[in-house]
Structure 1
Amino acid sequence: MSTTAFTTAIAQARDLLRWRSPLRTELWAARLTADLEPGEVESFLGRLVEDGSTEARLTLAALSAVNTAADTNPPTGEGASPSADEGADAGVFVRAGNGVVETLPGWVRRMGQVTCEGAWYGKADPYGEQTLAALSFRYENGKEPHLLVVGIDQVSGGLAVDAVVEEVKFLDDLDLRAEEPGVVAGRVLDASELGDRIMGALVADTLPAVRPVALLRARAVPDLVRPAPDDTVSRFHELPELPGAREAFEKLAEFVGDRPLWWSPARVTQFLTSWLPREALLSDAGIAAMPEVVRAWSRFSGGHPAVLAQVEADAPRLPALMADDSLAGLGKRIAQAQRDR
């Protein structure tokens, strides 16, 4: 890190000592972590240790606090910045800040010491192509309530693509459903770890600067559920009373899998015109019931006109597509051959 950048960090730490805000300090340290270029982490930490001032020690303590829960492997998506040297892990921050917090004012010790007060989850857009996982927290002294919101992209497989920390009233503008904190926190961690495993994943430029705090908050929630389930399918109780409806819905549930909130016109088409002919063995009754089952699911998923219109456009083609053996995938052909023996 350049001398100018180091001086800027010390000046910002001086301001933080006056504000005495654990939250503001954690968010600042997370941004500082994201701004560190590969190859400069250890030299920057060394300069802080050598400087030894109160501002330098606060910087060490804050970097240690926000990186305590960081993953070993840094984010790899476009726009992401590694949090440490290639091959280094977040432990370098923790080691550099070891014992420093005891030399600083008492408010510094509250960093990371939060209680989760609620959790919510739901669609970020009408079709659920992205979902939002929200967790509210307050420090142990009851001050600085705040809300962590993580955007999870369903189209890309369920990876975290953005995160913000806002005032709790930010929740008023979101149409989310209350859920168990351990489940929502588990989803945040699942989505973050998935993003680490996908090379070249597209994420928001703002994610790296919030990610350390997001991980720290999610891991502070007790009774984590990993992997975190989604109960949307089990809450569907509008199955049409038709022969074959249960069989049809089982295939629909198999298709939506662990991303059931994502239901768009494009996904309707993929299901009815591609996935079913390629993958599904269905009885005549199941094929006949499928359009009405998909209509019911679409209404349950928000009843968006574009989705319902896509069902009407694609459903009439289903019997012919299911009868076309050339569309069947290998797994379906093998299963069909075994069934016909």
Structure 2
Amino acid sequence: MSTPAFTTAVTQARDLLRWRSPLRTELWASRLMGGLDPADARGLVRELVEAGTPEGRLTLAALAAVATPDAVDAQADAAPAGEPPLADLYAAHGAEARDALPGWVARMGQVECDGAWYGKADRHGLQALAALSFHYRSGKEPHLLVVAVDQVNGGLAVDALVEERKFLDDLSLEPSEPRAVAGRILDAVELTDRVMGAAVVDTFPGMRPFALARARSVPDPVRPAPEDTLSRFHDLPALPGAEEAFAKLVEFIGDRPLWWSPGRVSQLLTSWLPREAMLSPDAIAAMPDVVRAWSHFAGADPEVLRQVDADAPRLAALMADESLAGLGKRLARSRPRDEDEG
């Protein structure tokens, strides 16, 4: 008796054989794979092989096209004794199936990357977008993979979609190196996989295998991808202590420089600096102007600049309030006194 997964796959594959679209078929296979646990996937492969129908062969070939090892590993189980890993199972049966199908099937996964972009998804950079543009080697079905990376929660991949190139027209993404953008996508998906219960868009699991397959198709992805936003900032105020202040700002920003919101500004000036930072009087005095300069570089958002103006006047008093210092800062302050006493 056929399982529901097999019946559904065969019915949908029948339509896809008529569409003759490698892209549509890969996206379908990605959703199919994303909804299967390893045991069900192995059972489905067995049913498809035993059926030996064109629909079954197309399903196997399509699953093989998006079944990178990391796409399958996140489904998590070790292979049963005597059986190959699931990715190898997909690949072996997919290759056999492809030979018995029309020529367009062989184009699945055979893509070339012809552009890459990266930047803010929103004006405060709460999310970043990593985009890669592809076309099949036949020149047909150009498409754009876009992955949303949550900056607030540490750089998780939370959404992925496929669009036409004109999707970029309404965005402010910067052209980037494809190897770096592919690396960012792979890093973000890997991070999401490691976080149990990560909050992602409902459709992300079904897009995840396709996104990984496309990122993996870019030769030599750079991991971790270098972040050059901070190095492009050259408007440091000519004030005593400005370099020291900027070094502390860089420490706070970390590896997510696109995220610069009113809330993050307020966290820096009213909480993080008083709790964590030991700064000279010159650096404390220069910090508001350094933060303003960075805020202009980061987009000159009016809400952000108003937040700087609201919080900056309090900084000197907050830095002088020892009750706000965290444990690490207190210990650092105590060391010179201990050494003098010794």
TM-score range, shorter chain: over 0.9
Q: Counterparts in 2 of 1:214-293, with a 5 A limit?
A: 214-293=211-290
Secondary structure of the corresponding residue to residue 135 of structure 1: strand
Deviation at 1:218, TM superposition (A): 0.5
What residue identity is the alignment partner of 2:6? F
Aligned counterparts of 1:230 and 1:50: Cα–Cα separation in 2 = 50
Quote the Cα distance in structure 1 between the aligned partners of 2:194 and 2:202: 18
In 2 relative to 1, CA 285–16 (structure 1 residues): closer, same or farther, beyond 3 Å? same
On the 8 A contact 2:42/2:86 being kept in 1, the answer is: no
> Which residue, 307, 310, 314 being the options, matches 1:313?
310
**Aligned mates of 2:176, 2:86 — CA distance in 1:** 31
Pick the aligned partner of 2:123 from 97, 122, 126.
Answer: 126
Q: Residues 33, 3 of structure 1: CA spacing in aligned structure 2 closer, same or farther, 3 A cutoff? A: same
RMSD: 1.8
- Displacement of 1:336 in angstroms is 2.7
Map 1:24-103 onto structure 2 (within 5 A).
24-37=24-37, 39-74=39-74, 82=75, 86-87=77-78, 90-91=86-87, 92-103=89-100
Give the secondary-structure state (helix, strand or coil) at the position aligned to 1:40: helix
CA change 1:214–1:201 in 2 (3 A) is same
Structure-1 residue corresponding to 2:82:
none
| 1:26-45, Cα deviation, whole Å (9 max, x unpaired) | 00101111232564221111
Superposed counterparts of 1:180-199, under 5 Å = 180-199=177-196
Distance 2:100 2:329 in 1: 66
Q: Identity of paired residues, percent?
A: 66
Q: Does 1:8 align with 2:39?
A: no
Query: Which letter does structure 1 place at the counterpart of 2:11?
Result: A
Name the SS of the counterpart of 2:139 in structure 1. coil
Q: Which residue of 2 aligns with 1:79?
A: none
Say if 1:119 and 1:134, in contact at 8 Å, map to a contact too: yes
User: Could you report, residue by residue, the CA deviation over 1:144-170 in whole angstroms, capped at 9, with x for unpaired residues?
Assistant: 110000000001100100000111111
The answer to whether the 8 Å contact 1:131/1:154 transfers is yes
* Structure 1 counterpart of 2:191, one-letter code: L
Letter in 1 for 2:16: L
Question: How far off is 1:18 after superposition?
Answer: 2.0
Q: Residue 5 and residue 24 in structure 1: after superposition, are their counterparts in 2 closer, same or farther (change >3 A)?
A: same
> Aligned with 1:97: secondary structure?
helix
Q: Deviations over 1:126-181 (max 9, x none)?
A: 10000000000011111111000000000110010000011111111221000101
- Indicate the SS of the match to 1:310: helix
Q: TM-score, normalised by structure 1?
A: 0.92
Question: Contact between 1:135 and 1:148, CA under 8 Å: does it hold in 2?
Answer: yes
The residue matched to 1:42 in structure 2 has which SS?
Answer: helix
Aligned mate of 1:112, from 109, 114, 119: 109
CA shift for structure 1 position 242: 0.8
Q: Secondary structure of the residue that 1:163 maps to in structure 2?
A: strand
**Counterpart residue identity of residue 41, structure 1:** A
| Runs of 4+ residues over 3 Å off in structure 1 | 1-5, 69-73, 85-90, 337-341
AA aligned opposite 1:32: L
Q: 1:206 aligns with which of 195, 203, 213?
A: 203
Q: 1:133 to 1:60 in 2, by over 3 A?
A: same
Distance 1:252 1:28, change over 3 A: same
The letter of the residue matching 2:149 is I
Structure 1: gaps of 5 or more residues? 75-81
8 Å Cα contact 2:38-2:86 kept in structure 1: no
| Conservation of the 8 A alpha-carbon contact between 1:69 and 1:212 | no
Structure 1 Cα separation of the partners of residues 311 and 43 of structure 2: 60
**What amino acid maps onto 2:293 in structure 1?**
A
**Whole-Å separation in 2 of the counterparts to 1:332 and 1:67:** 49
Cα distance, 1:320 vs structure 2: 1.3
The alpha carbon displacement at 1:313 in A equals 1.4
Query: How many angstroms does 1:11 deviate by?
Result: 2.2
**Aligned equivalent of 2:143:** 146
